[in-house]
Chain A
Amino acid sequence: MGKRLGILLNVVGIGLVMMIMALYGCGNNSVSTVGPAEPFYISGTPNTTAIVGQLYTFTPSISGVDTSNLTFSITTVSPSTLPAWLNFNPQNGTLSGTPASSDVGLISGIVISVSNGTVNESLPAFNLTVTVTGSTGSSGGTGL
């Protein structure tokens, strides 16, 4: 009796698993285009400083069940569009470029987002300061 019950439960269980896999596109079945998408996550801590003459690069990390067919996008507050020196790859979300001396300044409110067409995930907004290395001096000492 116990053995039969066990077999029955196994059959039912396997059936349920296969049904779920079929519904959500896992396993050997073809990718399902219907139904809710798998959850995915975007993460990473970008360097907030870019140095003139040095390559700046940042690629966010994506984790989740299905990371294919994702599209990345980027927005900024100021300036409203990315400066020419900074390239953004919508395939993998990589932000890269080498700033020149004329690019010194602040890019504020940068938000990198990723979407599978249904779900949007974003990194927290960050500012990117383009600067130089070296020493500074000023009259007025260390006051105002």
Chain B
Amino acid sequence: MASSFFLFVDVDYPLSCDTIATLYLIKRACCKSVFMKSFISQASSIQKTAMRPVVFHCIALWLVLLMNAAFANAAEFPNAISLQGFTGLLNTPNAEVTEEGTVNALYSNQIEPQWRDLAPHEDNYLFSVGFFSFAEFGGRLTNVPAVSIRDLSANVKIKIPFIPRGFYLPDIALGMQDVGGGSKHFQTKYIVASEELWRFRFSLGAGTGPDRMKGVFGGAEFKAFDWFYLIGENDGKDTNVGARLVAPELFGYPLGLQISAKTSLDYRPGNTQFGLGFQFPLGNEHLDRSPLPEKANEVKQTSSETKITAGSLPNESEKMAQAPSAAPAVVTGKGSAPGADLQRVREKLTTEGFENVRVGTNGGSLLVVEYENNRYNHNELDGLGIVIGIVVDTLPGEYETFRVIVKKQDIAVLELSAPFSDFRAFLHDAGKYRELNEHLRITENVGKDEGVDYLVGPSNSSWLDSSLVVYPGLKTFVATEVGTFDYLLSAKLDYFFNAWKGAVVNARWDIPVAWSENFDNGKAFRSDRAGSQLDRLMLFQAIKVVPGLMVNLGGGMIVPDYHGTLNEVMWTPSDGAHRFTIKQAYATSSDVQDLPQKRETYLGSYRYYFSPLNLSFKVTVGRFFDNDEGFRLDMKRFFGDTALSVYYANSQTTFRDRVQIGGVMIALPLTPRRDMKPGILQLKGYDDWSYAQETKIVAPGESNTVSTSTGVDPVLPYNLERVFYNRDRLNEPYIREHLLRLREVYRAYGQ
């Protein structure tokens, strides 16, 4: 098969004797067929001499693969990125979108029709991401040196939801290629329908052009093997044929590989272009919305095994409820004194690296455990799961209620309580998920002690502890007049010192490490490369005023040369679905060369969290950090611990220019799931490293000049949302949706 495949993409590729003989016979048989003769005749009218070997070999290959198709899996077609960036065939879309929470990236050397007579070479870097199950966003960077084209464009495609699968009920999608931007090299709007029939997927659509996809287009994908597909299409300009090789996993990791090859039958047939890409998921948990119980006698599992699919929860749950639970690993005897048990719990928690630990009881019915987690930094739920696991596995089940209080910077931020037996049952039997969820009480209104006596002794205080967070800084310029991709990579050393309750001293150094040529002296971006410097020195004081209302006051050097204050007030009423934030910053520069000399920021924002999709919407209005005034819209979705955002800013600069910005941002933890234990100096990565790529949105014909100072919300690493609210995930709806994570992390790290 490999030789056949390469035969297709390059007719001069050497073949084995058997393959040649087989194909020759098939070719002869094909030529006797009326249909094939007709097809070949039609093709020959386009490019008679050059076409013939290609067509013969294509047909032969199709027949060979048809014979092999019987051995292929009848599973659905995998969705792959096309050479244009949207999910589709070769140059045309189908009615599918990139899988939810998955990123596709592809390099292609296909030369677009408008440049193929002028340019010998073209580079295309394409990506698409499945933001929802019905929507994908994508981008494309095109570089055609011969005609000085460097273009960045965006794609969007929406699959019409709620269309049931079945014969004569095709999927339908709407899309736009090359959305926005001053240059419109690929702009097209289209509608397309797809239907699967046996091992074929047919697509038919109509577009607005002006080049490809003008009028009707369509094509078919044929699944020869689970990993090999043949594709034919007419994109409105050319008829293309090609093949795609898909490997869903590499070495056991969910990293898919995709290789595409195509040739036009109308323009230099036989001249092949390639696409090489990969696919990876952003996170594992976006499908955990309706968790199923796990098998009672399961063995220790990894995080990748916790993805639970929706479907048969009631029946499975009932079965699990009747099944014997795994033996609880109670390590203490029932006859031991309660104080000794509690001491053992405290010792285990502090040994595990938890800080500000307090363990107490009101005499028997209520158990209270307070702790601060600075070790499991991907998600606060990880720390919570470990604590619950340790407590439940250490203590006998003599307590009616188990209350666990989560602290950050020694401030109690959240309280969870449920019957002790529910925690225990859930920990050892995922089938008890529903019972725990039903009885679990989650509140920011952390209760008073109510007569609880806490153990006296070492709590592993976080006072005077410090941490050094090391992470990369990256600044890029993409598709500019001076380069396709320019970068400046630096090392960020972010030091945090716990001064007292809620107070942190923060100092950050920025050390440039590597950069592209245009950051060199005398080059375009030299002014964007500062030397190694201390770029932040601030003191923060966080205060929990009342439950749901937090304040963070900051003062010092906010950015290089600018000294002042940066304060935020956050109000989270009810269960955390709604949030209101006010932010104020005032900073002046000590360098007369700096513009502006004074920065005054006043921002108000509202955020709504939609828990079933881990999705949040945020609108921010006011005066931003560069003194521009306007608004900003953010839509963020978590896929596991990775957050993907798209945003739009519209603000008026101090020069009275109205600027619109659109961008996409990814934020993820760049540190191990379990970090070094906190102490005098904890070394770790950044749990909320983010990277945003943005561009000006301009009218056709206008220039999208680079801009890095529009709609900037002064968010520093020590902010309320990240430090105290688990990157905006410490709310009741989120916790309830992700209860299984508590169990999974304990099984992975706690036992």
Contact = CB atoms under 8 A, between A and B. Distances in A.
A54 B522 CA distance: 19
Contacts of B705: 49, 51, 129, 131-133
Interface centre among A101, A134, A138 (most CB of B within 10 A): A134
Contacts of B182: 133
A53 B716 CA distance: 37
Contacts of A142: 647, 663, 665, 692, 694, 711-713, 715
A5 B424 CA distance: 120
Nearest to A108: B595
A27 interface: no
Interface string A23-53: 0000000000000000000000000110111
Interface centre among B525, B645, B693, B703 (most CB of A within 10 A): B703
Contact of A101 (B518, B593, B712): B518
Contact of B625 (A52, A131, A144): A144
Interface in B709-727: 711-716
A52 B663 CA distance: 23
A104 B482 CA distance: 10
B500 to A, nearest CB: 25
A139 interface: yes
B691 interface: yes
Interface stretch (B3-11, B25-33, B473-481): B473-481
Contact of B695 (A108, A136, A141): A136
A138 B712 contact: no
B695 A135 contact: yes
B482 A132 contact: yes
Interface string B554-569: 0000110000000000
A44 B714 CA distance: 37
A101 B482 contact: yes
B715 A143 contact: yes
A6 interface: no
A15 interface: no
Nearest to A129: B705
B283 to A, nearest CB: 18
A133 B706 contact: yes
Contacts of B704: 133-135
A133 B711 contact: no
B439 to A, nearest CB: 38
A13 interface: no
A135 B473 contact: no
A83 interface: no
B9 to A, nearest CB: 33
Given A101-B482, A142-B692, A137 B476 contact: yes
Given A134-B695, A135-B693, A139-B472, A102 B522 contact: yes
B524 interface: yes
Contacts of B479: 133-135
Interface of A: 48-49, 51-54, 78, 101-102, 104-106, 108, 127, 129, 131-144
The 6 closest A-B pairs by CB, nearest first: A143-B715, A141-B690, A134-B480, A132-B480, A137-B476, A101-B524
Given A104-B527, A134-B150, 16 more contacts: A52-B481, A54-B703, A106-B595, A127-B655, A133-B704, A133-B706, A134-B704, A135-B152, A135-B706, A136-B475, A136-B693, A138-B474, A141-B690, A141-B692, A142-B647, A143-B712
